[in-house]
Amino acid sequence: MNLNYKCCTGTPESDPLGSAYLDNNATTQVDPKVVEAMLPFLTQFYGNPSSIHSFGRPVGQAIETARQQVQELIGAEFSSEVVFTSCATEATTTAILSAVEAFPERKEIVTSVVEHPATLQMCEHLQRKGYTIHWIPVDKKGRIDMDAYKAALSDRVALVTMMWANNETGTLFPIRGMAELAKAHGILFHTDAVQVAGKVPIQVANSGIDLLSLSGHKFHAPKGIGALYLRRGTKFRPLMRGGHQERGRRAGTENVSGVVALGAAAAIAAESVRTDTARISMMRDRLEQGLLARVPNAFVTGDPGNRVPNTSNVAFEYVEGESILLMLNQFGIAASSGSACTSGSLEPSHVMRAMEIPYTAAHGAIRFSLSRFTTDEMIDAVLQELPPIVAKLRTLSPYWNEAEGVPHTEEFAPVFG
């Protein structure tokens, strides 16, 4: 297979791998314009940004320009509210630990059962230390249980930490409304916006959001750079100490080339949200509808009516997602599984289990995530290759009646030798 694609600028480019990359929620291709912006800060501009001499000054100025570009992407009131970090996991960890340290009398945290491990495992860690964690459930479409959420809010809670969009299904939480409810109880509100930044408009100014995490490599910056939005006036305790960088909120010499890249990617993303969203959404819908039309016993997980425009998670019943991914890979198609392969476990993902997706479907859940570099040719490749892969795998499935092309009606009981 040798696919060609056009980037967002309409300039034809050859895919160096000759492949269809549909795993953009995992990471994205670094935009060539971002590479162009960051390269001088690996060669020509190498001074320490904290230095006052002529080598350091332009580097420090570039960091402030990047800060303003991120500010504009997320709609913050002040650029000083942007703190650069190494990644979103660091930003989220900083937000959670800062809240519990700043409000030591409050021993409760509210989060959801479908969060990214960066949040889940930090909350589990605090639970072992004696904190009460309110794990808010979701319904079968991945929508947050608002009654449970409201019931968990009190003046005993230090922090609410909720993802804005789910990384597996793309389902959006009503973050602004949830933040306002938290404010009524004087609770800090943090959101993991990793799967939202660069995909839908964000406006944190005049919202109830106090802290927000984002990651550069999710919107075409390189890996190793992220940011924490910290509303001015929010009580804060730094995670990393030992330097005055980032106004004392995150010690350590800045990853300057990464910061510049993040700023450039943010500036491009702010424009792309307006110009590319409709095209990406249409390709996502064509892929989804095409698969459902070609493959029986398949359905979309999450909330199709309220999700980010680039994500589709389709569950193919009675097959293993890992097998699908391996066979797709033979055709140069990259997607990801909503179940075991990323965790090393044979269990379906915590997100699929939280939505009560049957195991026979959760194991076959595949996430397709697009970007502005995705092309119609890539979608065509999936529509061509995936249906026969599922059909072939079902011939091997003990749950599938190959003769009649339907699931077995009787329950399969595995026998172990």
Residue positions annotated with a catalytic role: 341
Q: What does the alpha-carbon distance between residue 98 and residue 238 come to, in Å, rounded to a whole number?
A: 6
Residues in the chain: 417
Beta-ladder partners of 159: 109, 188
252: left (phi over 0), alpha (psi -120 to 50) or beta: left
Beta-ladder partners of 300: 314
Q: What does the alpha-carbon distance between residue 288 and residue 272 come to, in Å, rounded to a whole number?
A: 22
Other CB atoms within 10 Å distance of the CB of residue 400: 22
Contact 371, 363 (CB under 8 A): no
400: left (phi over 0), alpha (psi -120 to 50) or beta: beta
Q: What does the alpha-carbon distance between residue 200 and residue 177 come to, in Å, rounded to a whole number?
A: 17
Other CB atoms within 10 Å distance of the CB of residue 403: 6
Three-state DSSP class for residue 215: strand
- Strand 20-21 and strand 333-334: pairing? parallel
Q: What does the alpha-carbon distance between residue 393 and residue 324 come to, in Å, rounded to a whole number?
A: 8
CA atoms within 13 A on the CB side of 103: 21
Contact 204, 76 (CB under 8 A): yes
Q: What does the alpha-carbon distance between residue 126 and residue 109 come to, in Å, rounded to a whole number?
A: 9
Buried b (16+ CB within 10 A) or exposed e, 93-125: bbbbbbbbeebeebebbbbbbbbbebbbebbee
Residue 397 token pair: 């499935």
Q: Where are the alpha helices (DSSP H) in 210-276?
A: 256-275
Q: What does the alpha-carbon distance between residue 151 and residue 204 come to, in Å, rounded to a whole number?
A: 25
